[in-house]
């Protein structure tokens, strides 16, 4: 059973709100923008400085993209749109986003409180470091929401940074008075290199923070790219990006920038995303071919759930961010909170509404409730938060599904209902929320590796907190790379990635079968084994691409690097025979001491004899002198598969314009046209067709629409339908807001 689905970190979709301000405020406001330009950025900088003296040029970018960062009064910045050499304008201060963090425990403000409340399920980052190394002298860049560099466990490791939101040298987390406060970057940094009461994976590493995500954890792709470029200029040794979007494609702009950063010599570790357990959910920039993308493994733990004794019906619960642990020791009566004034010793049942979760739970607590269950009002399970910075709630608060809430509501109306707490013991496995691969277009296997990603205890502004997500898994790997670079300063990026992958341990299901490659990549990271490995397998993830012909033969070259002064002999196990699939593998071969040998792995497919769609599995390679085995994942697509054909639709008022809107859409297959239809969200009655476009390419498609073409503002369900060249079509649904304020305002700022 898929028991727990978490929506957790910055690697999910961001809900963006553009906020107008008054003209009086505008006159005093200094805003920041980053523009993409044609031609030499330095020449464009000189032109702007000469012709627009009231605009400050803060920085130019030319390593990963051509851009210029500017600051000035909104009225002056608005004039920039008329310059012909500007490709795009990216605003950087007007976004807010809902945070997607999941915590099992509330904030621990001091180390003493941390130790007092620590539970068996908490994971301490330093537990992963089973080596003698500490990351000493290694510079780790953290592209995130900033960092609380005053935190006692981070202050000694923080060395420098930059704020790509405000365009200054102060990458502090967003404070409450600046908007929706953030803590994500501090948590990530602590996992890597906390060095106080709490220890990170590499406690002697140096932290360089780049604030690319502002209030609420939102930002634009260009801010992320600019942060990457700044980190490259600062010559960091490894980069961590616990962020992303929902576009499953290898050539999204942030993915291209990541590949370029790797080519310039910096390993880049990226969270795989928290949109699992479905396939094709890994998002950019974790989709970058040269990125080291990380999925989340669970730690062994006891997960609470509820049982109604009469029916023996189980209820899955999602403990909210900021809640105390759900550890009720006996059964408790459940009551509808709206109908009870005295709830002493009872579990309060509420329905999700427009009232904040904190307010719902606080009122129930004040009435004496022992715990709170909030039933969702949508079909999907979600996680919520009661962590508002206000007086903490001292009783457990959890979300249940809409279906379970409706069932309990009916039972409570007719009889007394009691719920008992039970526990499911879970061994190390893949976290249900961890995004799966593969990547569309090039069919790469992602994630590359797994690391601990549940109940990770680390630093946040004001103390410590336990969070979970692939956002927490990625910095474990960044910390391990810091250890490896200390141990092997002469190793290349390929050797670092290869050593980690070669020595990873693939996870198995309850029946002892290996989990699919697109779920776990090479498996769970093993730091000391990676550092001490006697062999490095390069290109161990075997992606054979897509089969379109009746019969095709594909070859992937695998390189095996002997790290020892003794010859090594290997052999492949012959895979179980499958109809339509023929493997040609060298059964025995020798790699001489200190040699790197290329081994061809040949796969022949007779397409009609193989089931259409995604095909994946494992090849077993054994080192004869030690009986050490290595599992090599493989994948190919036969003819067609269920990958998304279009995704990432975005629609917004064009910066500095009150007349035009812009849209973006990522397409993964050859398509003839795309149509976007709008429906009323309450009745699902068709309202109008927003746009139809026929000039499409594989990858990102962009366009503009005039205000008069948009129609009435409002809240809509948008159905995006892509008509493919093979005559088929596919649709997907998203929510679209067309704000009246957007249509009425004169400027974005």
* Number of other residues whose CB lies within 10 A of the CB of residue 509: 12
Helix H segments across 29-101?
A: 41-51, 74-78
Output the CA torsion 374→299→119→391 (10° steps).
Answer: -40
Residue 106 CA, distance from chain mean position:
22
Integer Cα distance of 161 and 158 in angstroms: 8
Decide: 570 and 621 in contact? Cβ < 8 Å: yes
- Those residues whose C-beta lies under 8 Å from the C-beta of residue 366, and which sit 6 or more positions away, are none
Q: Which of 122, 144, 148, 444 is catalytic?
A: 144
Q: What is the DSSP string of 649-668?
A: EEEEEPTT-SSEEEEEEEE-
At 87, list the tokens: 């490709």
715 belongs to the catalytic site = no
Note every long-range contact of 37-45, with CB atoms under 8 Å and residues 24 or more positions apart, other chains counting: 37/66, 37/67, 37/68, 37/85, 37/86, 37/87, 38/66, 38/85, 38/86, 38/87, 39/66, 39/85, 40/66, 41/66, 41/67, 41/68, 44/68, 44/85
Among 299, 303, 238, residue whose Cα is nearest residue 265? 238
Q: Which of 385, 471, 543, 657 is catalytic?
A: 471
Non-local CB neighbours of 640 within 8 Å, separated by 6+ positions: 612, 613
Q: Is 471 a catalytic residue?
A: yes
DSSP 3-state assignment of 362? helix
- 263: helix, strand or coil: helix
Q: What are the tokens at 500? A: 């980690």
Q: Which region holds residue 496: left if phi is over 0, alpha if psi is between -120 and 50, else beta?
A: alpha
Bridge-based pairing state of the strands 456-460 and 463-468: antiparallel
Query: What b/e sequence results for 622-652 when a residue is b if at least 16 CB atoms lie within 10 Å of its CB, and e otherwise?
Result: ebeeeebebbbbbbbbbeebebbbbbbbbbb
358 membership: H or E segment, kind and range:
helix 357-366
Instruction: Give the tokens for residue 462.
Output: 């004001």
| Residue 144 known to be catalytic | yes
**Inter-residue contact 68 to 201 (CB < 8 Å):** no
- Where do the DSSP E strands lie in 539-612? 542-547, 551-562, 568-572, 581-584, 589-591, 596-606
Instruction: State how far the Cα of 337 lies from the Cα of 367, in Å rounded to an integer.
Output: 9
- End-to-end CA separation in angstroms for the chain: 48
For the chain, give the longest Cα–Cα distance.
Answer: 80
Determine which one of 90, 105, 151, 184 is catalytic: 184
DSSP string for 368-382: T-SEEEEE-SSSS--
Considering just the CA atoms, what is the radius of gyration of the chain in Å?
26
Strand order in the sheet with 686-693: 686-693, 671-679, 714-724, 729-738
DSSP conformation letters of 468-501: ESHHHHHHHHHHHHHHHHHH-TT--HHHHHHHHH
The strand ranges marked E within 386-485 are: 397-400, 418-426, 449-452, 456-460, 463-468
Backbone angles phi, psi at 278, to 5 degrees: -75, 155
| Sign of torsion over alpha carbons 532, 537, 538, 542 | negative
Active site (catalytic) residues: 144, 184, 471
């Amino acid at each position: 059973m898929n028991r727990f689905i978490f929506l957790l970190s910055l690697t999910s979709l961001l809900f963006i709100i553009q906020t107008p301000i008054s003209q009086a405020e505008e006159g005093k406001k200094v805003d920041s923008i980053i523009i993409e330009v044609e031609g030499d950025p330095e020449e464009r900088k000189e032109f702007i400085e000469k012709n627009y003296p009231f605009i400050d040029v803060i920085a130019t970018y030319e390593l990963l993209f051509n851009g210029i960062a500017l600051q000035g009064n909104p009225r002056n910045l608005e004039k920039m749109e008329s310059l012909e050499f500007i490709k795009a304008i990216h605003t950087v201060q007007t976004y807010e986003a809902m945070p997607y963090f999941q915590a099992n425990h509330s904030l621990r403000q001091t180390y003493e409180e941390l130790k007092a409340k620590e539970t068996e399920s908490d994971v301490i980052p330093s537990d992963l470091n089973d080596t003698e190394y500490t990351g000493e002298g290694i510079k780790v860049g953290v592209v995130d929401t900033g960092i609380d560099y005053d935190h006692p466990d981070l202050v000694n490791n923080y060395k420098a940074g930059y704020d790509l939101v405000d365009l200054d040298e102060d990458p502090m987390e967003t404070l409450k008075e600046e908007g929706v406060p953030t803590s994500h970057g501090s948590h990530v940094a602590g996992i890597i290199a906390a060095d106080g009461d709490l220890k990170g994976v590499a406690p002697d590493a140096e932290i360089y923070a780049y604030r690319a995500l502002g209030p609420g954890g939102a930002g634009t792709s260009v801010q992320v790219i600019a942060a990457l470029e700044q980190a490259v200029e600062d010559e960091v040794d490894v980069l961590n990006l616990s962020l992303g979007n929902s576009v499953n494609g290898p050539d999204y702009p942030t993915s291209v920038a990541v590949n370029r950063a790797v080519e310039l010599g910096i390993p880049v570790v990226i969270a795989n995303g928290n949109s699992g357990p479905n396939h094709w959910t890994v998002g950019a920039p974790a989709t970058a071919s040269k990125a080291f993308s990380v999925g989340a493994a669970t730690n062994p733990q006891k997960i609470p759930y509820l049982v109604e004794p009469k029916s023996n019906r189980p209820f899955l619960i999602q403990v909210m961010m900021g809640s105390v642990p759900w550890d009720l020791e006996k059964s408790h009566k459940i009551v509808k909170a709206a109908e009870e004034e005295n709830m002493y010793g009872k579990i309060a049942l509420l329905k999700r509404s427009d009232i904040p979760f904190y307010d719902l739970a606080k009122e129930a607590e004040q009435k004496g409730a022992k715990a709170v269950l909030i039933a969702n009002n949508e079909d999907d399970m979600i996680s919520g938060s009661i962590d508002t910075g206000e007086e903490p709630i001292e009783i457990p608060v959890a979300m249940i599904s809409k279906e379970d809430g409706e069932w309990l509501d009916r039972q409570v109306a007719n009889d007394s209902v009691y719920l008992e707490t039970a526990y499911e013991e879970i061994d190390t496995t893949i976290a249900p929320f961890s995004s799966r691969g593969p990547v569309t277009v090039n069919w790469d296997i992602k994630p590359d590796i797994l690391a601990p990603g549940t109940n990770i205890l680390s630093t946040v502004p004001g103390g410590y907190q336990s969070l979970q997500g692939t956002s927490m898994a990625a910095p474990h790997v960044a910390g391990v790379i810091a250890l490896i670079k200390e141990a092997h300063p002469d190793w290349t990026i390929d050797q670092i990635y290869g050593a980690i992958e070669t020595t990873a341990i693939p996870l198995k299901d309850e029946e002892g079968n290996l989990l699919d490659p697109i779920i776990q990549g090479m498996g769970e990271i093993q730091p000391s084994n990676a550092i001490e490995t006697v062999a490095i397998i390069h290109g161990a993830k075997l992606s054979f691409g897509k089969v379109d012909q009746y019969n095709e033969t594909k070859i992937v070259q695998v390189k095996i690097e002997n790290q020892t002064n003794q010859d090594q002999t290997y052999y492949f196990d012959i895979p179980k025979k499958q109809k339509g699939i023929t493997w040609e593998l060298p059964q025995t071969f020798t790699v001489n001491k200190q040699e790197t040998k290329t081994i061809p792995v040949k796969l022949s497919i007779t397409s009609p004899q193989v089931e259409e769609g995604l095909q994946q599995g494992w090849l077993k390679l054994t080192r004869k002198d030690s009986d050490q085995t290595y599992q090599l994942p493989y994948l190919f697509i036969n003819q067609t598969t269920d990958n998304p054909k279009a995704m990432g639709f975005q629609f917004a008022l064009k910066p500095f314009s009150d007349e035009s809107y812009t849209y973006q859409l990522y397409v993964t297959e050859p398509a003839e046209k795309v149509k976007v239809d709008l429906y009323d969200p309450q009745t699902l009655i068709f309202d109008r067709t927003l746009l139809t476009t026929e000039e499409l390419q594989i990858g990102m498609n962009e366009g503009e629409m005039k205000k008069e073409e948009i129609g009435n503002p409002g809240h809509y369900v948008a159905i995006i339908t892509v008509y493919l060249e093979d005559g088929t079509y596919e649709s997907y649904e998203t929510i679209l807001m067309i704000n009246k304020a957007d249509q009425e305002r004169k400027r974005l700022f």
